[in-house]
Amino acid sequence: MLDSLKQAGKNIGRELGRTWENLSEGWRELLSRSSDALTHFSRNSKHEVQQESGSLATFPRWSLLAGEVEETDKEIVVRVEVPGMEKEDCRITIEDNLLYLSGEKRFERETGDSTYHVMERAYGAFQRTIPLPRNVDAGKAEASYKNGVLSIRLPKVAGESGKTIPVS
């Protein structure tokens, strides 16, 4: 009986170890792929929803603004998902090789006499910084907005290419 309990304990320990390793691997993958997209939303008191019971439901302070940076021969194209926003609520600034996207995602409630059971969308002011792989001509940049995706086309600075430096 004692031997079977020891064996069961070893088996449970082994399975817990495997489970923990799988969870750890999943979190590492999530963090490595989305850590730049994880964006903080600051909010004020108007970003709370009064419930029927009198308690306040608060919006999450963090959300993903998933994006991509694509490079062609002539330009860098940055696309960022900003669902639920109007193009007028987005501001784009380029300094050095960094693109700053900031804005505010506003909460609009259709009715005042409802109860929220799930609140996963973040609202408020945000800023996201996206490093650019090359120098760009910010004066010739163009931005468009379609279906919740903000696209920024940034022409690369002409004549700039990689340089190999010999080691002496």
**What are the sequence ranges of the domains in the chain?**
1-35, 36-155
Domain 36-155 has CATH 3.40.50.300: no
φ/ψ of residue 34, rounded to 5: -125, 5
- Those residues whose C-beta lies under 8 Å from the C-beta of residue 159, and which sit 6 or more positions away, are none
Written as six digits, the tokens of 111 are 């009715």
| Three-state SS at 22 | helix
Question: Which region, left, alpha or beta, applies to residue 128 given φ > 0 means left and ψ of -120 to 50 means alpha?
Answer: beta
- Those residues whose C-beta lies under 8 Å from the C-beta of residue 146, and which sit 6 or more positions away, are none
| Three-state SS at 132 | coil
Tens digits of pLDDT across the chain (168 residues): 778 888 888 888 888 888 888 888 887 777 676 667 778 888 764 545 444 444 445 677 888 888 999 999 999 999 999 988 888 899 999 998 999 999 998 887 777 777 878 888 888 899 999 999 999 999 999 999 999 999 999 999 976 555 566 786
Torsion angle, CA of 90/106/33/150, rounded to 10 degrees?
-30
pLDDT of residue 106: 85
pLDDT of residue 44: 64
* CB-count exposure of residue 138 (10 Å: 0-12, 13-18, 19+): middle
| Three-state SS at 139 | helix
